[in-house]
Structure 1
Amino acid sequence: MLICLTASHKNADFTALEALATADAKAMPSSLASHPAVDGAVVISTCNRFEVYLDVDADEHRAPEIALSAAAAALGEHHPEAMAPLADGDAAEHLFAVAAGLESVVVGEGEIAGQVRRALASAQRAGTTSPQLERLFQRASETQRGIKNRTGLGEAGRSIVRLGLDLASARVDWSQARVLLVGTGRFAAVSLAELRRRGAERIEVWSPSGRERFARSHGIPAVDGRDAALAVAMADVVVTCTSADHHVVDAALIREGRARLAATHAHPGAEPAAAHAGCPIGLGAGGDAATCPLHHGGHEAACPVDHGRPAQVVVDMGLPRNVDPDVRDVHGIELLDLETIRLHAPLEHLTATDDARAIVQKAARRFERGTEERRVAPAITALRQHVEEALEAELARVAKRGTEEERKVAEQALRHFAGVLLHKPTVRARELAADGRHDDFLAAVDALFGIDDVA
């Protein structure tokens, strides 16, 4: 049976999803497939869901239990209290809906289709797929493409990145804003494209892991890790999207950067040192850093180092969180994380969504019929072989009698009769399979012909 175990923004809280995000998704399929009853495993891990798809060698009563046991063993401490199990047709319908973006925070978002394809590719490299899982994920991609071409869902939907930056747009003039992008992966590339689409030009990138290729390939300045705190303090907008399993930005880093910025007063738009009587960060005439409230401790509210901006916006796209929630305690910081972004997710585009759902349901029914037919295929093959052996025996007997012409006529008649004889059982087998009654056909073949090794 196909079993899907799913934890997403719809049935798990953010803490559970964050814990699952720290699991090693690349190693997970191999761990799952090591279970003796699991024939194949594929894992989808994104910022809002963690799903396990298993091909389990067990009946409908035992398969969900085996799947849950295999997942618990593979996930260990990361295993949440509950991962909802879905079987066969329900699992297929769910994956098809996921691939189409129907189960996303932002309905119709485009990134999930690529994530589903990459999940299958990762399992293929690990050697943990099965013919049934291959067929399931291929049909999911086909269904997603059909929905994209036949409905307006893709146009109506928006990605998490787009939504997060849209929320920041109400607070930021992108053409003037200084932006620090934290991260250099695929998500960072999407974020950079969206920032540029909004007119952002002053963009720097900081790679906590020290990767410099991203900056060179995208034509933007790279921030040295030693200057990360200062870069964070100088940015009007900080966008984080790394795969790190720890916080890369926290209150301490921001405060360190602000202290360094205040000490040098080297902020954008700084005036010559002789004209500091009205300095926004508290420096007196002559630029004496000693008069800055930051150097007297505990007076941060009077020295936000905001340089005239209403707030410094931090957009955290990471799961687990890239930004420690304690940054909310820092004066002048506004944090937009995934939890906040979810609360502002737009309503579904009803017409497009309904059309897409109908396509998903039809595709799932077609997939399930194909699955059931494959279950009776060995029995049909065995029945055909049984009839073929009887036919060959009869042809051998007929070959000893009559003329050559009579033998040809007899052979043609017998072969036609065998085909007619097999046609009805073959059609009936597929009908029973489509109704979920493949066991009835297997039992009948066993009872009538003694063929009992094809289940």
Structure 2
Amino acid sequence: MVLFSLVASHRDVDLTTVARLADGARGLPSDLVGSGLLNGAVALSTCNRLELYGEINTPTQDAAALRETRAELVGLLAERAGFDPQDVAHGVQLLTEDDAARHLFTVVSGLESAVVGEREITGQVRRALTEAQRDGTASGELVRLFEAAAHTAREVGTHTSLGERGRSIVSVALDLADDVTDGQWPDRRALVFGTGAYAGATMAALRDRGCADIEVYSASGRAEQFTANRGGTPVASDDLEDALNRCDVVIGCSGGAEPMPAQDMPTNALTVVDLALSRDFDPSVADLPHVELITLESVKLAAPEETGESVTAAQRIVDQAADRFKNQRTGRDMSSAIVALRKHTMGVLEQELDKIRQQHGCTGAHEEIEFAMRRMVKSLLHQPTVRARKMAAEGRAEDYLMGLEALFGIEVPAAQAPAQESGTNAAVSGQHTTSEPRLPSAPRAAG
């Protein structure tokens, strides 16, 4: 099995394309696993990236097989998103094995975010795995990968100052809004579109800044329940126009199916903050003389840089975590190889002992021969066992596995997680489990 990640992020493609790809990826993991193309799949979709993590049924890193898989995945994604595959292919990266793991650890640590060090990504990664487990697409190896990512995020949060300033996409967006909106937050009225975790984070950030007059609108009708739990005033669809006229700042976090057109905007001075990956407001509202529009692109450009020392420290932790995960995987492979070799050798031994029993029966001679043969086999297995561990430490596990297959015809099966292992599936078949990685709770990005 080969782990991989298919990545489309704000670093390589524009956010509109990311949003369309994210829409196309809905339901894709279930389809891929159900069709047998992948052994497992987890989709991570945030406000600035779409990443598909998967496990392909190939015993080694077969370059041709991986190229074929990439082409097929890009084709499916492009078709579902309404793109020409050639237009998508150049902006999508395929990372495999150690590179895929290292990338996820970098992402979950906030090092790949538009606002470096933001902690919202940890919750998004946690929910991506939770959804895959719910849908039965999370293989055991992918669960282990995402749990290792969870541990990495906690290490970065504990041992570095990255993210201590509380910077996030929401906080940077509200800083920009503060610069272009009259008055101060305690005197402003805010209207929030959406009721997801990102809207909740926006509510909390507004209150931290002293804004107490917050209304919430949800096209799905969940505003009343949302405000009952989090505060604020729900806005019904019939009252939306009046709410827009009352507010000073409107913040889109819902990613509705259709963005609000410019002609539906009120005539009063208004700051529009659109944080939805699938826009809540048509970009043409920026052309209205009384509207100031702040988008994810604006946030990305305005995001302050973290200190080089914090980033370096976080990257060091990521590198260590990636090496640790690699060694753990190699160790499981070597354990399986050693078990397979012992099973093969002991099978041959038992066949020969059966012949001796038939010839000598249960006699003292038989017992002496059996004792000597078992001792000899044990001695013969000692050096291959030591070599297995040494070659794993040298990064040559694949050479050892290929040698077993070439010399003895032994094909080492993929390692399976123990049934009692916390947070993992009992097998790598995508069996559903309700356990989750222990990532810190964090808001989900829009879209």
Whether 1:451 and 2:435 are equivalent positions in the alignment is no
1:383–1:163 CA distance, 2 compared to 1 (3 A): same
Deviates more, 1:350-359 or 1:419-428: 419-428
Whole-Å separation in 2 of the counterparts to 1:239 and 1:330: 17
Q: 1:384 to 1:337 in 2, by over 3 A?
A: same
SS at match of 1:153: coil
CA deviation after TM superposition for structure 1 residue 451, in Å: 2.9
Structure 2: which amino acid aligns with 1:253?
Answer: D
Deviates more, 1:185-194 or 1:365-374: 365-374
1:391-413 CA-to-partner distances (Å, cap 9, x unmatched) read 55677759844499x86x984x7
Task: Give yes or no for the alignment of 1:131 onto 2:140.
Answer: yes
Flag the 1:218–1:373 CA change in 2: closer, same or farther, 3 A.
Answer: closer
Say which of 234, 239, 242 aligns to 1:230. 242
Cα distance in structure 2, aligned partners of 1:433 and 1:136:
19
Correspondence list, 1:286-297, <5 A: none
Alignment map for 1:354-393 (pairs within 5 Å) = 354-392=312-350
Matched residues, number: 396
Name the residue aligned to 2:310.
352
Higher Cα radius of gyration: 1
Alpha-carbon distance between aligned partners in 2 of 1:41 and 1:324, rounded to the nearest angstrom: 33
Q: How does 1:85-124 map to 2 (within 5 A)?
A: 85-124=94-133
1:32-51 aligned within 5 A: 32-51=32-51
Corresponding residue for residue 69 of structure 1: 72
**What's the offset of the Cα at 1:36?**
3.2
Alignment partners' CA distance in 1, 2:106 and 2:284: 36
Q: How does 1:53-452 map to 2 (within 5 A)?
A: 53-58=53-58, 59-60=60-61, 61=63, 62-78=65-81, 80-81=88-89, 82-156=91-165, 158-172=167-181, 173-211=184-222, 212-247=224-259, 249-254=260-265, 257-258=266-267, 305-306=268-269, 312-392=270-350, 397=356, 400-402=362-364, 411=371, 418-448=377-407, 450-452=408-410
Higher RCO (Cα < 8 Å, 6 or more apart): 2
Going from structure 1 to structure 2, the CA distance change for 1:72 and 1:219 (only over 3 Å counts) comes to: same
How far apart, in 1, do the equivalents of 2:176 and 2:377 lie?
70
Provide the residue aligned with 2:440 in structure 1.
none
72-81 or 214-223, which deviates more: 72-81
Contact 2:253 2:280 in 1 (8 A): yes
8 Å Cα contact 2:255/2:277 also seen in 1 = yes
Are the counterparts in 1 of residues 257 and 278 from structure 2 also a CA contact under 8 Å? yes
CA contact (8 A) 2:25 2:80 kept: no
Asked whether 1:16 is paired with 2:26, we answer no
- Residues 5-61 of structure 1, C-alpha deviations (whole Å, 9 max, x = no match): 101111111221121233353x12112224433111110001010000110112421
**Partner amino acid for 1:183?**
G
For residues 385 and 322 of structure 1, do their structure 2 counterparts lie closer, same or farther at Cα, with a shift above 3 Å needed?
A: same
Cα deviation, residue 354, structure 1: 0.7
With the length of structure 2 as denominator, give the TM-score of the two structures. Answer: 0.81
Residue 340 of structure 2 contacts residue 410 of structure 2 at CA under 8 Å; is this kept in 1?
Answer: no
Aligned mates of 2:290, 2:18 — CA distance in 1: 29
CA contact (8 A) 1:251 1:330 kept: yes
Corresponding residue SS for 1:97: helix
SS of corresponding position for 2:187: coil
Measure, in 2, the Cα distance between the counterparts of 1:31 and 1:357.
35
Alpha carbons of structure 1 residues 443 and 168: separation in structure 2 relative to 1, 3 Å: closer
Q: Which shifted more, 351-360 or 210-219?
A: 210-219
Change over 3 Å in CA distance of 1:349–1:417 after alignment to 2: farther
SS at match of 1:154: coil
Structure 1 stretch 125-134 or stretch 420-429: which is displaced more?
A: 420-429
Query: Contact between 1:181 and 1:206, CA under 8 Å: does it hold in 2?
Result: yes
Distance in 2 (alpha carbons) for counterparts of 1:179 and 1:439: 58
Q: In the alignment, residue 144 of structure 1 is paired with which amino acid?
A: A
Contact persistence 1:180–1:237 (CA under 8 A): yes
Q: Relative to structure 1, is the Cα distance of residues 451 and 377 closer, same or farther in structure 2, using a 3 angstrom cutoff?
A: farther
Task: Check conservation: 1:315, 1:337, Cα contact below 8 A.
Answer: yes
DSSP 3-state at the match of 2:185: coil
Structure 2: stretches of 5+ with no match in the other structure: 414-447
Superposed displacement of residue 440, structure 1: 2.6
The whole-number CA distance in structure 2 between the counterparts of 1:205 and 1:383 is 64
**2:28 partner amino acid:** M
What is the CA-CA distance between 1:159 and the residue it aligns to?
Answer: 1.3
- Give the gaps of 5 or more residues in structure 1: 259-304, 307-311
RMSD of aligned alpha carbons: 2.6
Per-residue CA deviation, residues 420-453 of structure 1 (Å, 9 max, x unaligned), is: 43232123223334444334323433454x3344
